[in-house]
Amino acid sequence: MESRAIPFFEQVNRHFDKAATLTRFKPGLLEQIKACNNVVHFAFPLQRDDGSIEVVHAWRAEHSAHKLPVKGGIRYAPHVSEDEVTALAAMMTYKCALVDVPFGGAKGAVRIDPTLYSDAELERLTRRYTFEMVNKNFIGPGIDVPAPDYGTGQREMSWIVDTYMAVAGNQIDSAGCVTGKPVSLGGIRGRTEATGRGVFFGIREALADPAFVSATGLEGGVEGRSVIIQGLGNVGQHAAKYLSAAGARLVALAEREGAIHDPAGLDPEAVIEHRAATGSILGFPGASNLPTTEAALELDCDILIPAALENQITHENAARIRARVVAEAANGPVTASASETLLERGTRIIPDIYLNVGGVVVSYFEWVKNLTHVRFGRLDKRFEEASNARIMHAVEELANVKLDAARFAAITAGAGEAELVDSGLEETMIAGWRAMSETSRRLGTDLRTAAYQIAIEKVAETYLGRGIFP
């Protein structure tokens, strides 16, 4: 029997072990891939605004250094633990390998409720945490590159890069020590919405795959599909916006304070504005309040998207899930036993190690930008526009037509940073889906096991290529 307190790392390793049986590698190599290479627990003092001293507990886990740097977000939450951080670092290893992002996996966390701290306290805490990571050699553009996660954002990343530059000295690539920064500090356009955008691309590709459509009966793509989203944080709200814009019908939204339901469809922008004004999604005009957040998970729908935290669908409630597809926008929202229950009942799962890779993919683009010191599109946008214009002028001459200026400009426009980032993310999600789907069919297994099998193969090949294992 499972509970919501089930060890997260154990869940990840159960998925790993299932996929490992489908590989050709020796047990020793598989154990090395599965093991967490390094994890450090920090305990440091924080002076509160009232002058009192509080001891803060924090972690940084580096799961696999088969490729450097390692990469993973930092979350601020009251429930974090070493087990959770280690599990998330392992998942990051497998995500990066699956979609060919050249990083090992890492994760960090600070055990606080950020809503209970002032901005000044959060700044002192973040800078001290960064100092501790520098002191232990757990951060650097070629070593370990953090990013935002639950409870953190651009502001915290700004404090991290500023502290790193002050402590580590004037290094030319210092901006690459962290991603998810504001554009003014070396960030990249499109990073904030990247994970939610990736969720949309992943679901779109699934619903365009004949094999997946045949298994689920969801013909016709995204348009008209009934969707439920749990979690309106950065990932959930952007996934909601993109799916809604593509014609999906958001029949329910859930947050920590409760859930709302409207079979006719909810406007995510309006719900977000309502929550900002009232502090809650409850009482949204035209929608009914559900008795609990969990009740939203059990409503009938085409696609259920858990976009909050891990262990939201367990052995206890899996049999009550009525969605045809569970799309894991969060990390580990469905436990291993619950996954088996859902699959046995015919529910298809789009796994987390594929669906929420958007953040690390665009973080990779930001890291590359920081190391090259060149904005994407800067070198070729105008050249591309001039080339397109020459082609269009030739077409106009041959067809004896003249386009109006606005249409001509739209057709010949070159790609800037935002467009290139979006294109790169889309290509990654398309290629990732095709590889995972093809492997699933070839091996006769579910999508999650296929994704882990691909990841294990790629990490193992890296170790073998370095001559570490015979």
Segment 411-463, tens digit of pLDDT: 999 999 999 999 999 999 999 999 999 999 999 999 999 999 999 999 999 99
What is the CATH number that goes with domain 8-185? 3.40.50.10860
| Residue 194: closest CA among 141, 139, 239 | 239
Q: What is the pTM of this model?
A: 0.94
- pLDDT band for position 5 (50/70/90)? low
The secondary structure of 295-335 as a DSSP string is HHHTS--SEEEE-S-S-SB-TTTGGG---SEEE--SSS-B-
- Closest by CA position to 458, among listed 97, 155, 123: 97
End-to-end C-alpha distance for the chain, whole angstroms: 40
CB-based contact 26:329 (threshold 8 Å)? no
Q: Report the number of secondary-structure helices (H) and strands (E) in the chain.
A: 17, 12
* Peptide linkage before 69 cis (omega within 30 of 0): yes
Strands of the sheet containing 104-111, edge to edge, are 38-47, 53-62, 104-111, 70-77, 144-148
Q: If we measure between CA atoms, which residue out of 182, 135, 134, 125 comes closest to residue 158?
A: 182
Q: Residue 207, Cβ neighbours under 10 Å: how many? A: 21
Q: Tell me the pLDDT tens digit for each residue of 276-311.
A: 999 999 999 999 999 888 899 999 999 999 998 888
Length of the chain, please? 470
Known catalytic residue: 107? yes
Mean pLDDT, rounded, of the chain: 95
Confidence (pLDDT) at 2: 47
Mean pLDDT of 29-34: 96
What's the gap between Cα 395 and its chain centre?
43
Q: What is the CATH number of domain 194-355?
A: 3.40.50.720
What pLDDT was estimated at residue 309?
82
Query: Annotated catalytic residue: which of 34, 95, 107, 241?
Result: 107
Instruction: Please report which helix (H) or strand (E) contains residue 348, including its range.
Output: strand 348-350
Q: How confident is the model at residue 127, as a pLDDT?
A: 98
For residue 3, the model assigns a pLDDT of 44
Q: Which residue has the tokens 């609990």?
A: 292
Q: Which phi and psi (to 5°) does residue 130 adopt?
A: -65, -45
